[in-house]
């Protein structure tokens, strides 16, 4: 009896659903379509169970021909209606999926120009930043080279001035020696002192030249490191 009540209620639901489909009803949502498909399958299972129960009931009767015929008709109609509901539910789910896929494709197509423009703008900004960094590196290298050249020029000028002073002192010593030929020991002492001063000056000049070489090497290494970093 319970199965019969459930089956009758299911058939009424199927009938009402079929009437609704003929009217101008709004499309089903995904959840509604899924519920419809599941309900159709459940009604089909209930129809099978009811048919088995009807067959068993008919076999217990003396004249079961009409009973079996009615049971088959009820079974066929219930299965047809349930199958229709299940198929329509699947169809609605497929349609919803198709519409979602098309909507996503349309959205991607609509957003493509803006995304492409954004990518181009990002690339252009990156190129501008890289060009600015390259210009800054080049300016830094030029400034370092200018500073190095200034130090070289200053060192050369200092060496020239020192040599000039030494030459002037030598001339003065020579003049004094000519005026006092008898003062040989003093002259020798002066020459010795002069030689020592020349030696010290040469040593300082050598040390300064070595310092400049080290600085040049350090500047070259720094520039090479900056170039390697820029290449990465």
Rounded mean pLDDT, 176-199: 75
pLDDT for res 24: 52
pLDDT for res 207: 86
What mean pLDDT value characterizes the chain? Answer: 79
**Domain boundary, last residue among 110, 129, 162:** 110
Q: Is residue 74 part of a domain?
A: yes
Share of the chain above pLDDT 70, in %: 84
Per mean pLDDT, which range of 9-18, 85-94, 107-116 is the poorest?
9-18
How much of the chain is helix, strand and coil, in % rounded to 5? 90, 0, 10
pTM above threshold 0.75: no
Domain that holds residue 213: 149-231
Count of Cβ atoms closer than 10 Å to residue 125 Cβ:
10
pLDDT for res 182: 58
Q: Is residue 136 part of a domain?
A: no
Q: Is residue 96 part of a domain?
A: yes
Residues 155 and 76 in one domain: no
**Domain boundary, last residue among 85, 110, 135:** 110
Q: Residue 7: which pLDDT band, with cuts at 50, 70 and 90?
A: very low
Give me the number of domains the chain comprises: 2
Q: Please name the helix (run of DSSP H) or strand (run of DSSP E) that holds residue 56, with its range, or none.
A: helix 30-59
pLDDT at 160 over 80: yes
Residues 156 and 218 in one domain: yes
pLDDT for res 227: 76
**Domain boundary, last residue among 61, 88, 110:** 110
């Amino acid at each position: 009896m319970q199965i019969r009540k459930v089956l009758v209620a299911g058939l009424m639901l199927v009938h009402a659903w079929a009437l609704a489909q003929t009217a101008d009803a709004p499309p089903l949502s995904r959840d509604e379509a899924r519920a419809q498909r599941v309900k159709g399958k459940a009604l089909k299972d209930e129809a099978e169970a009811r048919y088995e129960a009807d067959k068993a009931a008919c076999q217990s009767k003396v004249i079961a021909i009409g009973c079996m015929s009615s049971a088959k008709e009820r079974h066929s109609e219930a299965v047809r209606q349930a199958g229709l509901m299940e198929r329509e539910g699947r169809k609605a789910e497929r349609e919803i999926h198709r519409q979602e896929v098309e909507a996503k494709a349309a959205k991607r197509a609509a957003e493509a120009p803006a995304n492409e423009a954004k990518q181009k703008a990002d690339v252009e900004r990156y190129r501008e930043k890289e060009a600015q960094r390259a210009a800054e590196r080049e300016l830094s290298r030029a400034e370092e080279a200018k500073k190095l050249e200034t130090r070289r020029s200053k060192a050369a000028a200092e060496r020239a001035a020192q040599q000039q002073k030494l030459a002037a002192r030598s001339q003065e010593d020579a003049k004094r020696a000519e005026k006092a030929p008898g003062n040989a020991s003093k002259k020798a002492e002066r020459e010795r002192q002069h030689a020592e001063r020349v030696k010290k000056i040469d040593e300082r000049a050598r040390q300064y030249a070595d310092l400049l070489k080290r600085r040049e090497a350090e500047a070259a290494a720094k520039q090479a490191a900056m170039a390697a970093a820029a290449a990465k």
